Structure 1
């Protein structure tokens, strides 16, 4: 498996390490250019016998690489990432990994086993090995459960985890502070920073660093 430091050392600047994956956005500018790029990516993936998840939209495509058998980024993903970057460059398409944002919902609970099956049922998803309700598509939202002491329901029990490219985190935090937010804690940085809106509701800006 490849950890965040090895990904940095691998020098794949077109890609962001996010939640045991490599992800990026290729700015195609048109749907037709996106189709051409996806076709080329598909041929390269077949040749490597290693296949990504790709979301094609008008103007850009989002790509997610991970090794499902390992549950993590491996050298196979890094190799295919380099191949995809080369193909995109040859077609005049640039990558913008800092455009990728992944959102998870964290729910405070004193007993996750009592409520996790409900959330799995309403989302139509199986429970994960860690007791969370993971997104299986790579482009949706995972719900995870944060342990707390038993207490009366507080005003906020859900909080957002916003996972970004480490290069994007400072700008995202600065924008939140400029919009009236406050920095509640940076004790765990660069893994995550705890922010609050003007009414005290929390959100975390998270990266793959130091995980």
Structure 2
């Protein structure tokens, strides 16, 4: 596997681990499993909890009627480590034992991005109004409970106020990026730029409001 400094795995390292049910989205592994109903989801979560206690490593879990979403990250390291890979394998085995279906195509993580010529001037306002805190790893604001989208600031030159200051970033697994883009174009969107693909594609709705579909590809060099 390819390790970044401090033992953090990048996208290439995670891909080399061959975790079929899991995808790296930003600094965490994500998996979603379709269940037969709420009771089966509870049973699955109970089994995950038992293994998490044994490993002393605890995932974030979203239990819904029809699915369970699991997020794994080593908070002390600030990203995905071998601990997460090991627990991901165990969780996949638990899901397989319950005949649960992985839904990798449903995985995504949205982000809010604000264009600004003065990050330090506007950041305190958004920290206060959203009840967010500073990220320990990046110059971003994050929900302390880990439920709501991260907000980051895209630096620009001073300019007159444009019609759009915010845009939405949607991180998806690389193999589903074209499917998501095609759906957006079919829904009336246009392709603004592919210059930075596969890192991200810039799309616009019929009124010109922009959104980016992003992946982990192209952000770190592949292993030699």
| Structure-2-length-normalised TM-score | 0.91
Aligned length: 211
Asked if 1:53 corresponds to 2:60, the answer is yes
Q: Distance in 1 between matches of 2:102 and 2:34?
A: 6
Q: Which of the residues 11, 24, 29 maps onto 1:22?
A: 29
**Partner of residue 112 from structure 2, selected from 105, 108, 111:** 105
Q: TM-score, normalised by structure 1?
A: 0.97
Contact 1:184 1:195 in 2 (8 A): yes
**Pick from 151, 164, 177: which aligns with 1:156?**
164
Give distance in 2, aligned partners of 1:86 and 1:128.
Answer: 33
How far the C-alpha of 1:106 sits from its partner, in A, is 0.4
Alignment counterpart, residue 65 of structure 1, candidates 72, 78, 86: 72
Structure 1 residue 64, shift from structure 2 partner: 0.4
Post-superposition offset of 1:123: 1.1
C-alpha separation between the residues in 1 aligned to 2:9 and 2:143?
22
Q: Counterparts in 2 of 1:2-21, with a 5 A limit?
A: 2-21=9-28
CA apart distance, 1:183: 1.1
Contact 1:23/1:63 (<8 A) preserved: yes
Unmatched runs of 5 consecutive residues or more in structure 1? none
CA contact (8 A) 1:116 1:127 kept: no
Match of 1:32 among 14, 39, 43: 39
SS of corresponding position for 1:156: coil
Unaligned runs of 5+ in 2: 1-7, 220-224
CA distance in 1, matches of 2:179, 2:75: 32
For 2:102 and 2:147, how far apart are their aligned partners in 1? Answer: 18
Q: Compute the displacement of 1:159 (Å).
A: 0.2
* C-alpha displacement of 1:86: 0.5
Indicate the SS of the match to 1:12: coil
Once the two structures are TM-superposed, the CA of residue 127 in structure 1 deviates from its matched residue by 2.2
Match of 1:44 among 48, 51, 58: 51
Q: Give deviations 1:96-121, integer Å, cap 9, x for gaps.
A: 12212211110000001001111110
- 1:202 Cα deviation from its structure 2 partner: 0.5
Runs of 4+ residues over 6 Å off in structure 1: none
Higher mean Cα deviation, 149-158 or 128-137?
A: 128-137
Partner of 1:203: 211
Output the CA distance in 1 between the equivalents of 2:203 and 2:88. Answer: 32
